[in-house]
Amino acid sequence: MTLTLTVSDDVRTLAPGFTHVAIEAHSLVNGPSSEASSELLDEAARRLALRLNGRAPHEDPHMAAWRAAYTAFGSKPSRTRNSAEALAKRALSDAGLPRVNLLVDLYNAVSVAHLIPVGGEDLDRIEGGMRLILATGEERFVTVAGGEETVEHPDAGEVVWCDDAGVTCRRWNWRQGPRTRLTEETTSGIFLLESLAPMPVAEVTAAAAELAELLARFSPGADITVRAPETSA
């Protein structure tokens, strides 16, 4: 059954021009990072450097738009960066991009190359549909701190992704919860690519097509569906 994704009117009002493209994939094959996925990450870092042409990631117009959106819901974007900016900063540093597992490496590579926040969730761990909302502050976000499971609550007015069990990602696309993350045992996933104006819808669509092609290459025989972009007026 196709996962339901909804964006609340409050979020659409906060960020006119918000676009997201979802890729739903089944019969995936995940595993440890490989030489091939590592090469993709290195190539993504090279593509990023060409794109920025000496600028810092936050100086890119798309990243500037995300910083403005974060500020609009009360977050400090220089302290809690959107996922694409955080990855780009890592990519340009001596540390380089992290190697996590095959599926995460693939979507991280696309995120960095296109400077688009991309996330992946294990469909078998999602309860009900997924919703992008302004939090009340009562929602539960189960995470790990100091090696132990702990429950946090988002700030009131914070943009969060959630399902029927609680928050899956805080501050829009800043921190994903461990409950739904992609592990080496994942066989079904939903991948979300998110953009804001001034990025053309065609660019996020092209990035989604690139990710779908990579998923098909690394998981031959997978059932992969790219949904049409959903854009806020």
3-state secondary structure of 230: strand
Cα–Cα distance, 43 to 49 (Å, whole number) = 10
**Contact by Cβ (8 Å): 218, 38:** no
CB < 8 Å & 24+ apart, contacts of 134-140 = 134/8, 134/10, 134/11, 134/14, 134/73, 134/158, 134/159, 134/160, 135/159, 135/160, 135/162, 135/167, 139/166, 139/167, 140/165, 140/166, 140/167
> What is the average pLDDT across 118-134?
97
Q: Which two three-digit tokens encode residue 209? A: 């097509």
Indicate the pTM of the whole model: 0.97
* Domain boundaries of the chain, sorted by first residue: 5-231
CATH number of the structural domain 5-231 = 3.50.40.10
pLDDT digits (tens, 9 = 90+) for 177-218: 999 999 999 999 999 999 999 999 999 999 999 999 999 999
Q: Is the preceding peptide bond at 178 cis, omega within 30 degrees of 0? A: no
Percent of the chain topping pLDDT 90: 95
End-to-end CA distance of the chain: 28
Predicted confidence band at 147 (pLDDT cuts at 50, 70, 90)?
confident
Above 80 in pLDDT, residue 157? yes
pLDDT digits (tens, 9 = 90+) for 4-45: 999 999 999 999 999 999 999 999 999 999 999 999 999 999
Question: For residue 213, what is the DSSP state?
Answer: H
Above 70 in pLDDT, residue 164? yes
Cα 167–Cα 8–Cα 17 angle in degrees, nearest 5:
115
